[in-house]
Each structure stands twice: as C-alpha cells, then as structure tokens.
Amino acid sequence: MQVFSQPSAGSRPPVKPATGRGLPPCAGIGLKYQHYRDMLCPHTGSSSVGFVEVHAENYMGQGGAPHHYLEKIRRDFPLSIHGVGLSIGAHGPLDREHLQRLQRLLDRYQPESFSEHLAWSSHGDCFYGDLLPLPYNDETLQLVSDHVSQTQDALGRTILIENPSTYVEFTASTMEEIDFLKALVARTGCGLLLDVNNVHVSCTNHNRIACEYIDAFPVDAVGEIHLAGFAEDRDEAGAPLLIDAHGSPIHSTVWDLYERALVRSGPIATLIEWDSDVPAFSVLAAEAAMAQSVMMRAATTPQARPAAILSGSAA
Amino acid sequence: MENPAHPAASHWQERFAAALLDAEREPPRGLKTWNGSDPVKRFAVYRNNVVVNLVDGLCETFPVCLELVGEEFFRAMATAFVRAAPPSGPVLAQYGAELPDFVEQFEPAADIPCLADVARLEWARVTAWHGADAVSLRPEDWSAIAPDELARISVVCHPAAAVMRFSSPAVSVWAAHQLDAAARHAKPEAVDISRGEQCLVIRPELEVEVILLPPGGVVFFERLMSGEILGMAAATASASDPQFDISANLATVMRPGIAIRFANNERTPQ
C-alpha cells in the first residue's frame, strides 16, 4: 500500500484505482478510548467486529496510551484512519505540517483506508473543530479537486471523501452535491465515503428525497459507509432540522436507506460512529451486528448486485 | 490567508468564519433555505457546534477545575476562552495550554483559590499522557551503583516527566478531587491556601502520576532534569531549603517514570 511517489507539480496524481476497497466488506466500529480494553478482550464479542476506525487527529501525540492500545488493536483488526482536520474545502492552502503528521501516522499504522470530508474546518490560523459547508460550483470544485489531488500526492494513496451533513445551502451553488462528488471522483481518482446518516440529515434539512440521493450516488466509487444517530431540532419556520450528533442509536429510516444503498453496491465496509455520550461496548457491537445482518440480507435480495467483494480486493 | 489560485472564495469563507465565534456578527450573505426560513437559526447550528465541541474538549481536559467551579461556571468560562483564543491547529489534544493563564485573568474567577494552578496541573497531566514513551531505569540499575558513586551520577529524565511549582496548594486540592464523593465527605481537610506546593508529573507506563515533592524537592528535580549530577543538585537544593530531605528525594529519583538512563558519570562537581 505504501509506495510513496514524489509530489509531481501539476500532473495527475499517480494514485491507485479508486476502488478504495481496502477495508473488508463487514461492519466495524469507531474506536473510542473507553473501549480499548474491550477490543483486546476475547469475551466482549470484539472478535465479531470487522474493523475499527479512529480519528487521525486523536493519534498525533508522541506516545502513551492512545498509541499503546492502537498498536495492539491494529495487530488484530483492519484499520481505517479518518481525518477530521485537514480542511480540504478551505480556501487557503492545505496545512503542509498537518499533511506530514498524517503521513507519519499512515506510515506507522498502514491503515487499509484513509478518508476525509467534503468540508472545511479552518480559516487562516484558526481551527474551528467542526465540518463547515461549501457552495457547489465550478470554483469550489476546482479548489477541492486541487486539495484532494495534493493530499493523494502527499500521502501516496487514494483517499475517500465523505458527503457532509449540512444545515444551510448557498445561493452560489450551481450543482447538486452528488454531481459535485462525481466530478471530484472523475478529476482526482479519489473514492467516496457514503455517510448514510448524513444523507438523511441533509436531505431532510434541504427538503430533498433521500431515496433519490441514494439511488443516484456513484456507488462504484464507495469504499466505506458510515452509519450514526442524529438529533432533532426545528428551523425558524418550524420545519425539521436534523443535527449530525453521533450520540444515539441509528434511526430506522437510516437503516432503510442503508439497505437500499447496499442492494445497489453490494457489501461494503460499514462503520458504526458514536462519538458523544459513548455507550457500553456491547451497544456498539450490537449496532455493528445489525449492520452485518442488513448487509447479508441486502446481498441476498433478488435485485442485489453480485458481491463486489468477490471481485474487488484491496487496491 | 490569500490563495491566488482561488481568489473569489476568500470573501464568503472569511465572513462565515468570523461569524462563527462572534454571535453579534451577521451570518454571511448568500445562505439560503428551501422554505425561505431565516438562515440565522440554521447558521446557529454551526455556531453551537464549534463552541460546544471545543468546550466539551476543555471539560475533559480540566475535570477538577470543572468540579471546583461547577459545570455552568466552567462552561461559561471555557466559552469565553474559546472565543478569545480558538485553536490554531487541528490537533485538539494540544488545545488548552493557554487556559490556565486565561483563568488567572478571568475576573469572575478571581476569588476562587488555586483555580489557575489546578488548571496548570491538569494541563501538565494531559501533556504527560501524550508524551513520548521511554523505559525507566530499574531498581537493579540503581543498586548496581556504588554508594560513593551516587553523588557523581547524572541522569537522563523521562520525556514525559515534568516538575511543577505552585504558589498555592494546588496539588492537595487536585488530589482531594481524586477521591470518591464518600471519601471526600469523610475527610474534610482544611487547606492553607497560602502554602505553595510542588510536584512531579510523570508517566512511567500508561498512567499519569502526580507526586507531591518532599521539602527542597523542586530545586533538586529541576537541577536533575537540567542534567546536573545528583551531588550538585542536592547541594543546591539543600542551600535553597534547609529542610531538604536527601533520602526522601533520592528515593523519589529511583521511582519508575523519572530517570531513563545514567549520563555523564565521570562529571565531578566543580
């Protein structure tokens, strides 16, 4: 996986094909420090967890418990590293220091997948710790494409880009999010991370039909799926406003959308994300088992696409 | 930060970013909603996310400070800190280093004794938690040193070890908050808030430890960590504090988490 290329000025990145399917097609969980010991214990049901995902920025300290446990857990489980701080959609240039930190992390842990977001989170010297939205137009497509290509060049690998949860739209948008993502894949060769909860949240917030979004999503580029819970609020006019909160069980609507996506895509590595009010390990394991059973069911429905896993192995 | 390749994008992101931390500021123009509702309420989700995410992180980093002042007060103080000094980079484990100094200047907290010092201790613990790994000297390494050699030995200290000095009893206050509620209730202890305390913050393996230093210990360990030989460090500590307890301090030096190897054994006191 780690054949590093020299960054080449201006040329297309010499990245691998955008299958992104380095992760096994099964259900995994977001690894929280509360569950380090559970993951290493044979009696917690951890062996049924298909992979783990960590936030890159939580493992950028020099040593101590985070690295100690991740080293051990990584020996037994496939690993996805998920960046939340690269700010690929920022107007300013990418943070070179942060890219180097990411590269060191990927060198050390050799994860099966690295992903980031279609969002920005910093401006100038200030980091906001949230995933902020972009208008979708030619100009932002150029900006994001440049940043994705630069990232792939620097890291020497294909990355996955996640569709965001958004709460506002921009008058400056001239294209749909899906068309933006398709164009991004075509321009950079990146893969996509389909966050089904984000689909439900954004479609509800912007009065779009989530099933149509799922049906139009370029599933061939998808290397991973995210599932999570949301919180509910209301906008100024009383319309539902869903918040991507990652602090509750996955909603039945999101399970349905997930199954719909799987019927189109075949089995794909699926992550249970739960970042606030982190529950007992068994709760996460049960959600992962649920995802696993939905994956099995989707694979056996008549209209299901043949399992991509059988043809497409790790890039 | 100007990006010549993408000049037009600066305007809206600049305005969007500026309005995130300043509730008085109008959200950027150019936002829309499908039902024509006022985008301010929706923009408020981002405002709220930014502040709550960062404040939640500070609550985890400074749990004893939070207990000392109560959650409502702490969150209000942390929110003021986030607005005044937002993170400069995406590694949020490094966010909070400036909170203790902010607390010291924070007017509503002025009469809460020890708060800034407890924040300093809590920050030191987080720093140690993420500090580099190293293998400590073992007891047998120390017993291999002849007693008359000991004074001429200097040590390389563990990269996660730090000496802290406070003008308040921050260590006792912090330690009292490590007990469970019942133990705390059973052991009310009058703390003289004018008494300064010193401690070591170390991380021998995975867990961070706080060790209250015996008399004279702070000078001794500061000298030791700067590479001075034990004899010199002890002499300086003894000169600065007549109560310096050589055997208690030597016993502390030999604990795991402090010294990782011997260095400059040949160096002799000048």
pLDDT on residue A250: 97
Instruction: Write down all domains in chain A, each with its CATH number in brackets.
Output: 27-311 (3.20.20.150)
pLDDT digits (tens, 9 = 90+) for B196-220: 999 999 999 999 999 999 778 999 9
Q: Which of A90, A122, A237 sits opposite B37 (nearest CB)?
A: A237
pLDDT on residue B185: 62
CA atoms of B257 and A167, how far apart (whole Å): 48
- Interchain proximity A172–B31, CB inside 8 Å: no
In this predicted structure, the answer to whether residue A11 has a pLDDT above a threshold of 50 is: no
In this predicted structure, the answer to whether residue A143 has a pLDDT above a threshold of 50 is: yes
pLDDT on residue B116: 97
In this predicted structure, the answer to whether residue A18 has a pLDDT above a threshold of 50 is: no
Q: What is the DSSP letter of B90?
A: S
Q: What is the mean pLDDT of chain B?
A: 90
Helix (H/G/I), strand (E/B), else coil: B180 = coil
User: Is A34 touching B (CB cutoff 8 A)?
Assistant: no
Among A25-34, A284-293, B10-19, B111-120, name the one with the lowest average pLDDT: B10-19
pLDDT digits (tens, 9 = 90+) for B92-117: 999 999 999 999 999 999 999 899 99
pLDDT on residue A38: 96
User: Which residue out of A37, A40, A126, A131 would a mutagenesis test of the B interface target, given it has the greatest number of B Cβ atoms within 10 Å?
Assistant: A126
From residue B191, alpha-carbon distances to A19, B63, B196 in Å are 63, 20, 11
Q: At what angle do helices A252-265 and A196-205 cross, to 10 degrees?
A: 120
Token readout for A258 is 């997930």
CA atoms of B149 and A230, how far apart (whole Å): 65
pLDDT on residue A306: 61
pLDDT digits (tens, 9 = 90+) for B156-191: 999 999 999 999 999 999 999 998 766 666 555 667
**Nearest-CA neighbor of A228 among A257, A250, A202?**
A250
CA atoms of B76 and B79, how far apart (whole Å): 5
pLDDT on residue B62: 98
Q: Which residue has the higher pLDDT, A192 or A47?
A: A192
Extended beta strands in B166-222, E state: 198-202, 209-212
Q: What is the mean pLDDT of chain A?
A: 91
Could you tell me which residues come within 8 angstroms of residue B246 by beta carbon, excluding any fewer than 6 positions away?
B234, B238
Residues paired with A222 in a beta bridge: A192
Q: Are A10 and A146 in contact (CB under 8 A)?
A: no
pLDDT digits (tens, 9 = 90+) for A179-201: 999 999 999 999 999 999 999 99
Chain A residues in contact with B32 by the CB 8 A cut-off are 168-171
What part of B 158-187 touches A (C-beta under 8 Å)? Answer: 159-160
CA atoms of B213 and B211, how far apart (whole Å): 6
What part of B 223-252 touches A (C-beta under 8 Å)? Answer: none
pLDDT on residue B193: 74
Q: Count how many Cα atoms sit within 13 Å of the Cα of residue A119 in the half-sphere of its side chain.
A: 27
Task: Show the CA angle centred on residue B3, arms to residues A159 and A146, nearest 5°.
Answer: 25
pLDDT digits (tens, 9 = 90+) for B135-159: 999 999 999 999 899 999 999 999 9
User: Is B130 touching A (CB cutoff 8 A)?
Assistant: yes
In this predicted structure, the answer to whether residue A241 has a pLDDT above a threshold of 90 is: yes
